[in-house]
Amino acid sequence: MQHACYSVTAHNHPLERREVPTPEPKGAEVLIRTTGAGVCHSDIHIWEGVYDLGAGNTLTLKDRGVTLPLTMGHEIAGEVVKAGPEAKIKAGASCVVYPWLGCGECATCKRGEENLCTVKARSIGVFQPGGYAEYVLVPHERYCVDLGTLDPAQAAPLACSGVTTYSALKKLGPRIKDQPVVIMGGGGLGHMALTVLRAMQGKGAIVVDIDAEKRKAALEAGALAAIDGAATDASKQIIEATGGGAASVLDLVGASATVGLGIASLKKGGEIVVVGLYGGELKLPLVYLPLRAMGLRGSYVGSLPELKELVALAQAGSLKPVKVTRRKLSEANQALSDLKAGKVVGRVVLVP
Ligand SMILES: [Zn+2]
Ligand SMILES: [Zn+2]
């Protein structure tokens, strides 16, 4: 049996439609038929093959061990078609796939933080074939999180944008329940962060974006305020809107300008969690760290237990569905280009 997939065969060139042999699941592996594959901003970096480290320096995907051809797609929902002899999962089950696989055997992985494994990164859609395909082989049944009756196209983005924002907001701790979170970036990830924050019983969010459309969308999605990050008095506006400075900043952009603005807007004891991969570098007076007792840290996707928690919130009805636009798998190239051009509000999910 063969199936179609859309793969990066050369960085920065259109994805190529390929017919590849459909794998036979062995051991505890599971073969799923893709029912939804989210198009994520990080797919653009993988497609281009490079991250910007600032000052003219770059980190290439090749340095990270990514080899071509690669079928991207790490936000995958699917229906179990066939399970290997050691997998107990039933054919027909609907699931979302946890894609951030590590070696599975080191202490970090055993602790359930495979996304932080330093032994071997095996992420689906990055280091092994992902969801821009009719079928996906999942290396172990434990990575298939049961969706029950949740809509697969709606649930697919939980695997990346969902768990990324959930994990980052968890790092900000209980303060999110009594003080608004400043969210840098009102795009697809910002929209998800608003929804996840509400499901976590957050106090609310102030969204900062340089794009008027995105600010409008953020307000419609329930943000307490939306501020133009390019305004000369942006930090003053944030300090006012937060009633004296931000206790928590979730930076979904990760650019020098947004992190700088976040630091300028923090109150004493405030914390910034950087998730975005826009790139650039940061010049920070070190005395700020102790004198303002500030925290600055990064967060990379999320763990399998966190994805399970998030799916449970969705099943309980606390996590409201985000705006999803369905497009055909054959439109993968156009979907990526539109995302790169900033034309997407919400999330695009490819369906077969
Ligand atoms: Zn992603
Ligand atoms: Zn590991």
Distance from the alpha carbon of residue 311 to the mean position of ligand 2, in angstroms: 24
**Per-residue pLDDT, 59:** 72
Mean pLDDT of 231-250: 97
135-138 vs 30-39, strand pairing mode: antiparallel
Closest CA to 147 of 75, 79, 100, 90: 79
DSSP string, 88-146: -PPTT-EEEE------SSSHHHHTT-GGG-SS----BTTTB--SSBSEEEES-GGGEEE
Distance from the alpha carbon of residue 160 to the mean position of ligand 2, in angstroms: 19
Closest CA to 221 of 208, 235, 237, 205: 205
Cα distances (angstroms) measured from residue 173 to each of 177, 178, 204, 273, 333: 9, 11, 14, 11, 39
Same domain for 154 and 45? Answer: yes
Distance from the alpha carbon of residue 22 to the mean position of ligand 2, in angstroms: 27
Return residues with CB closer than 5 A to ligand 1 (ion).
40, 42, 160
Same domain for 9 and 130? Answer: yes
Cβ atoms of 41 and 136 within 8 Å: the answer is: no
Cα–Cα distance measured from residue 158 to residue 153, given in angstroms and rounded to the nearest whole number: 10
Using the predicted structure, report yes or no on whether residue 51 has a pLDDT greater than 80.
Answer: no
Same domain for 136 and 44? Answer: yes
Distance from the alpha carbon of residue 75 to the mean position of ligand 1, in angstroms: 7
Instruction: Considering every ligand atom shown, identify the ligand nearest to the alpha carbon of residue 277 and give its number.
Output: 1
Cα distances (angstroms) measured from residue 255 to each of 148, 216, 226, 229: 38, 22, 19, 12
pLDDT tens figures, 106-134:
999 999 999 999 999 899 999 999 999 99
Same domain for 254 and 113? Answer: no
pLDDT tens figures, 139-167:
999 999 999 999 999 999 999 999 999 99
Same domain for 235 and 140? Answer: no
Comparing 17 with 345, which gets the higher pLDDT? 17
Residue 144: which domain range?
2-159+321-351
Cβ atoms of 306 and 116 within 8 Å: the answer is: no
Distance from the alpha carbon of residue 236 to the mean position of ligand 1, in angstroms: 32
Q: The domain spanning residue 130 has which CATH number?
A: 3.90.180.10
Length of the chain: 352
**Per-residue pLDDT, 53:** 58
Tokens in use for 129?
A: 């074939």
Tokens in use for 147?
A: 């969706």
Same domain for 173 and 275? Answer: yes
**Per-residue pLDDT, 344:** 79
Note the Cα 168 to chain centre separation in Å: 10
Using the predicted structure, report yes or no on whether residue 331 has a pLDDT greater than 80.
Answer: yes
Distance from the alpha carbon of residue 115 to the mean position of ligand 1, in angstroms: 13
Distance from the alpha carbon of residue 125 to the mean position of ligand 1, in angstroms: 9
Q: Domain total for the chain?
A: 2
Closest CA to 116 of 97, 103, 129: 103
> Is 316 within a domain?
no
Residue 201: band (very low, low, confident or very high) from pLDDT cuts 50, 70, 90: very high
Which pTM was predicted? Answer: 0.93
Would you tell me the crossing angle of helices 332-340 and 41-48 to the nearest 10 degrees?
100
Distance from the alpha carbon of residue 324 to the mean position of ligand 2, in angstroms: 33
Q: The domain spanning residue 284 has which CATH number?
A: 3.40.50.720
Residue 299: band (very low, low, confident or very high) from pLDDT cuts 50, 70, 90: very high
Nearest-5° angle of CA 120, CA 97, CA 316? Answer: 130
Using the predicted structure, report yes or no on whether residue 92 has a pLDDT greater than 80.
Answer: yes
Same domain for 268 and 290? Answer: yes
Q: Which residues lie across from 272 on neighbouring strands? A: 249, 296
Instruction: Considering every ligand atom shown, identify the ligand nearest to the alpha carbon of residue 115 and give its number.
Output: 2
